[in-house]
Structure 1
Amino acid sequence: MDYSDTTIILPVKNEPYAKEVLGEVISSLPHSKIIIAYSGNVNDLKKYGSKKPNVIFLKQNGNGKGNACIYAFKSIRTKFVGLIDTDGTYDVKDLRKAINLIRKGGDMIIGRRIASEHGAMPSYIKFGNWVITQTANLIYGMHLKDSQTGLRVIKVSSLKTLNLYEQGFGIESEINIKMHKKGYVTKEIPISYHKRKGGHSNQLKLLDGLKLLAIDFKFMSKDK
């Protein structure tokens, strides 16, 4: 199948498994455009990715996942954009499934994580995600089950109407809320979730969770 209608953004900050994720995207989503928005050392990834067609490297103009995504969004010229974390916790086949679904309708497809391995998501992360998700649902009238997922596909024409500015992990919450406030259709699909592969863990800690919870309240006014 041809995926030339989709750009895949891979945010990278020293993830040692990023090369494998890039390889899976190339093989599973032929002809897709791929943007690697990075900070840190990606020399080995560049040696591999620079030889591949349709792969672009963009060095972030700041720090944080949100900064990487917002910067990469400016370069998109395709109908859809897909986002997937590069730590090996997600399956690219689920991203492909989301792309195929959004082609049939809707503005955003997000993956609802179901752990495929014991301990893939620590209990405190699971609980924090539930609190953040349910708080946003209560405030904005949404019906999400996994608001902080790192796998999603968005219709670019809808995305470009959002004024995004969150620089860190709060980008997921900002996109969810602003898509909902615009009246766009978001659908969730069950996806696999695995233990992080290699290197140190970037999984959120208590302070990060509290910051994300605060973001739920940030967009309550109409002009946000």
Structure 2
Amino acid sequence: MLPCLDEAEALPWVLERMPPGYRPIVVDNGSTDGSDRIAADHGALVVREPRRGFGAACHAGLLAATSEVVCFMDADASLDPGRLPLLTARLGEADLVLGRRVPAAAGAWPAHARLGNAVLARRLRRAAGVAVHDLGPMRACRRSALLALDLADRRFGYPLEMVLRAAAAGWRVTEVDVDYLPRAGRSKVTGTVRGTLRAIKDMRAVLSAHQGQRTTMPA
């Protein structure tokens, strides 16, 4: 699943590097630059999700998927789909595999975004008891199990909620290092302070709600 909002510049590189046997589903979240046409021309299944939000796009792609093993990643060329087999190979010994981003070039991961991610990951380790160091978008799991988690967030809290609910359900969560590349085109989230703060706000709301539920559970 590739959530997409105006990624015409990046999509050809991403889709041309899709590994054999992996079926790309590009979820267009309101693009105005022809991203949907480019995705279709490169063999992707295009799903249109008019409701804006990262989680809304991810969920629409999940519903459209038919394979039991599903993967998520950004469509901005910051992550190489050729690394997806590294994640899926770990399924079996783990139930959710996350791509831990390792900057491959200067400026690939702006300092404000990296710091915000580190703070949230630390809070997540404390809240969920899982050894997670990155809340990056590249991940792999089984479709039926993910649907059963019944994720509710439709904004930028979706990746965090996935890990929280997976941990609460007893899933084995692990990480695999993946290169993090300078994205193509204009960044809408991690490349801007405003976008990063918006994502952190959504994730903090999900984390606070999770902690509130735990404190109100009967003994």
* Interval of TM-score (by shorter of Structure 1 and Structure 2): 0.7 to 0.9
| 2:115 alignment counterpart | 127
| 2:5 alignment counterpart | 13
Q: Distance in 2 between matches of 1:56 and 1:117?
A: 31
SS in 1 for 2:148: coil
| 1:6 alignment counterpart | none
| 1:113 alignment counterpart | 101
Aligned with residue 144 of structure 2, among 148, 157, 176:
157
2:157–2:205 contact (8 Å) kept in structure 1: no
SS in 2 for 1:97: helix
Structure 1 letter corresponding to 2:110: P
Q: Which runs of 5+ in 1 are unaligned?
A: 1-8
TM-score for the superposition, normalised by structure 1: 0.85
Percent of aligned pairs with the same amino acid: 21
The count of residues paired between Structure 1 and Structure 2 equals 210
Deviation for aligned residue 1:23: 1.8
Spell out the pairing of 1:16-165 with structure 2 (5 A cutoff). Answer: 16-25=9-18, 28=19, 30-41=20-31, 44-51=34-41, 55-102=44-91, 104-146=92-134, 148-165=135-152
Q: Distance in 2 between matches of 1:215 and 1:205?
A: 16
Instruction: Specify which structure has the higher proportion of strand.
Output: 1
Tell me: CA distance 1:214–1:23, structure 2 relative to 1, closer, same or farther (3 Å).
same
| 1:5 alignment counterpart | none
1:19–1:45 contact (8 Å) kept in structure 2: no
Instruction: Specify which structure has the higher proportion of helix.
Output: 2
Structure 2 letter corresponding to 1:21: V
SS in 1 for 2:200: helix
2:6–2:33 contact (8 Å) kept in structure 1: no
Deviation for aligned residue 1:180: 0.4
Larger displacement relative to structure 2 (189-198 or 169-178): 189-198
1:35–1:57 contact (8 Å) kept in structure 2: yes
Q: CA RMSD in A?
A: 2.2
Deviation for aligned residue 1:51: 4.6
2:56–2:154 contact (8 Å) kept in structure 1: yes
Q: Which runs of 5+ in 2 are unaligned?
A: none
1:158–1:184 contact (8 Å) kept in structure 2: no
TM-score for the superposition, normalised by structure 2: 0.87
SS in 2 for 1:142: coil
